[in-house]
């Protein structure tokens, strides 16, 4: 189903012809932004937390300011949304529709590593600057050379594995864990690439994977996976997981009373709902990403996110998604045009003031990101990252009691 939003200064007026800004916005005064991401399917839970609210927040804020200044002309934002149903083929068909039927000016990059890689050719064909906000891969150099419109903001696979490895080494040196690690991964592009890289990096650091298991995306029962991890006797558990399984694995770890000093799961560990679901039981659980909640910019962003969308931002990729939209905004205004090639070049050549700080791209890749965070006393704080401030010391996991 098509969902069209015209986000105005206050509430949009409903007319016979649809939703419009104020009284008489003209088509030529509108910048069309296409957004395709899951609203249904296995990855919907992540996109609904991380992607969709930030698109809404940014568009509302821009339009509340009177729109974007494009070469001296104020232009409002119209968001055209589609649900790809967590289906890459569906996403590609919808992307073509955005370009050829809706004729959108710009797009929001897809949700998820596999979707960003799968759709790069279609967005590249139409020349849309594509700022990937939820993609982790070591193929960035190869992909950005092939698709010069593609930008990455979240860090490489190697960087994420290295962050976890550093924690494992630190805790081994402190005597909290041994060399044994239990590792599991979701069997899609994201989890497979991270697990493959982890086998090499953990091995080089002297760790032994005494349990190494993959499972399909959307697996409803993860109890066998967690039982295997527990039976391994490892004091460190690492899961390269996506939203549904990050929750499912935590639930099973609590049920099994998994006895580890280091517990890490990936995407969705930073979600407020993760903390709400398990309370203090997940204190000192490590996960992908992180944020510096003490940064005034981050605090202001999180407040606006909740006030304007009614939802609490997650502690990782939410800010990254919003920052990517800030980059697009500043590039359009800086270039003074809607010409996509010109805007893409502006992104390549300039730095941008964002909620994540000053961001710029080297060969289309940003090197400012959080890689590992940890739940500490009800807040998910960054503990490892690249060119970020506010990292806090790692704490050991000590049971699953409230």
CA atoms of 123 and 340, how far apart (whole Å): 11
CA atoms of 130 and 149, how far apart (whole Å): 6
Q: Please, are residues 76 and 29 in contact by the beta-carbon 8 Å criterion? A: yes
pLDDT confidence bin for 251, thresholds 50/70/90: very high
Q: What percentage of the chain has pLDDT greater than the value 70?
A: 93
Q: What does the pLDDT look like over 315-340, one tens digit per residue? A: 999 999 999 999 999 999 999 999 99
CA atoms of 178 and 169, how far apart (whole Å): 9
Write out the E strands in 28-134. Answer: 30-37, 68-70, 73-83, 106-108, 130-132
* Residue keyed to tokens 């600057």: 129
Q: Please, are residues 359 and 142 in contact by the beta-carbon 8 Å criterion? A: no
Answer positive or negative: Cα dihedral of 167, 168, 172, 176: positive
Q: Please, are residues 382 and 370 in contact by the beta-carbon 8 Å criterion? A: yes
* Residue keyed to tokens 């606006």: 304
DSSP β-ladder status, 68-70 and 30-37: unpaired
Question: According to the model, what pLDDT value does residue 2 have?
Answer: 38
Strand partners, 34: 80, 107
Break the chain into its structural domains and give their ranges.
Answer: 2-156+294-370, 157-292+371-386
Contacts of 317 (CB under 8 A, 6+ apart): 50, 133, 134, 154, 267, 270, 289
Nearest to 226 by CA among 250, 210, 202: 250
Answer positive or negative: Cα dihedral of 58, 134, 95, 216: negative
User: How does the average pLDDT of the chain come out, rounded?
Assistant: 92
* Residue keyed to tokens 């929750």: 247
Q: What does the pLDDT look like over 358-383, one tens digit per residue? A: 999 999 999 999 999 999 999 999 99
| pTM reported for the whole predicted model | 0.87
pLDDT confidence bin for 28, thresholds 50/70/90: low
Q: Tell me how crowded residue 384 is: count the other CB atoms within 10 A of its CB.
A: 23
6 has a pLDDT exceeding 60: no
Which numeric CATH code is attached to 157-292+371-386?
A: 3.40.50.2300
Q: What does the pLDDT look like over 218-250, one tens digit per residue? A: 899 999 999 999 999 999 999 999 988 999 999
CA atoms of 392 and 164, how far apart (whole Å): 15
Q: What does the pLDDT look like over 77-99, one tens digit per residue? A: 999 999 999 999 999 999 999 99
CATH fold of 2-156+294-370 reads Rossmann fold (3.40.50)
5 has a pLDDT exceeding 80: no
Mean pLDDT of the 29-52 span: 95
- Alpha helix stretches (DSSP H) within 336-380: 340-349
Tokens of 200: 């090499």
CA atoms of 101 and 287, how far apart (whole Å): 40
């Amino acid at each position: 189903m098509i969902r069209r939003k015209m986000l105005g200064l206050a509430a949009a007026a409903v007319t016979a012809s649809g939703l419009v800004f104020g009284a008489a916005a003209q088509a030529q005064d509108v910048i069309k932004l296409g957004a395709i991401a899951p609203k249904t399917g296995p990855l919907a839970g992540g996109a609904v937390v991380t992607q969709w609210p930030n698109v809404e927040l940014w568009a509302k804020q821009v339009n509340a300011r009177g729109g974007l200044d494009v070469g001296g002309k104020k232009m409002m934002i119209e968001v055209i949304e589609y649900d790809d149903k967590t289906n890459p083929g569906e996403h590609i068909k919808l992307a073509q529709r955005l370009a050829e039927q809706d004729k959108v000016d710009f797009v929001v990059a897809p949700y998820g590593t596999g979707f960003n890689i799968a759709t790069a050719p279609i967005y590249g064909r139409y020349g849309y600057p594509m700022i990937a906000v939820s993609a982790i891969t070591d193929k960035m150099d190869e992909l950005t050379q092939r698709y010069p419109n593609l930008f990455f903001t979240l860090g490489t696979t190697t960087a994420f594995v290295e962050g976890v490895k550093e924690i494992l080494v630190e805790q081994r040196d402190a005597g909290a864990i041994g060399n044994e690690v239990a590792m599991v991964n979701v069997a899609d592009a994201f989890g497979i690439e991270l697990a493959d890289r982890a086998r090499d990096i953990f091995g080089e650091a002297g760790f032994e994977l005494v349990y190494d298991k993959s499972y399909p995306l959307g697996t409803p029962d993860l109890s066998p996976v967690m039982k295997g991890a527990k039976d391994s006797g490892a004091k460190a558990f690492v899961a390269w997981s996506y939203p549904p399984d990050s929750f499912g694995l935590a639930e099973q770890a609590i049920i099994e009373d998994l006895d580890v000093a280091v517990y890490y799961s990936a995407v969705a560990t930073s979600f407020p709902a993760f903390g709400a679901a398990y309370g203090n039981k997940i204190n000192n659980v490590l996960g992908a990403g992180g944020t510096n909640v003490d940064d005034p910019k981050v605090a202001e962003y999180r407040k606006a996110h909740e006030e304007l969308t009614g939802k609490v931002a997650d502690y990782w990729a939410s800010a990254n998604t919003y920052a990517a939209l800030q980059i697009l905004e500043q590039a359009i205004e800086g270039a003074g045009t809607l010409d996509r090639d010109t805007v893409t070049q502006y992104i390549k050549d300039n730095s941008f003031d964002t909620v994540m700080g000053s961001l710029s791209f080297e060969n289309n890749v940003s090197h400012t990101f959080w890689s590992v965070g940890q739940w500490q006393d009800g807040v998910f704080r960054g503990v490892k990252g690249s060119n970020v401030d506010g990292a806090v010391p790692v704490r050991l996991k000590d049971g699953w009691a409230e």
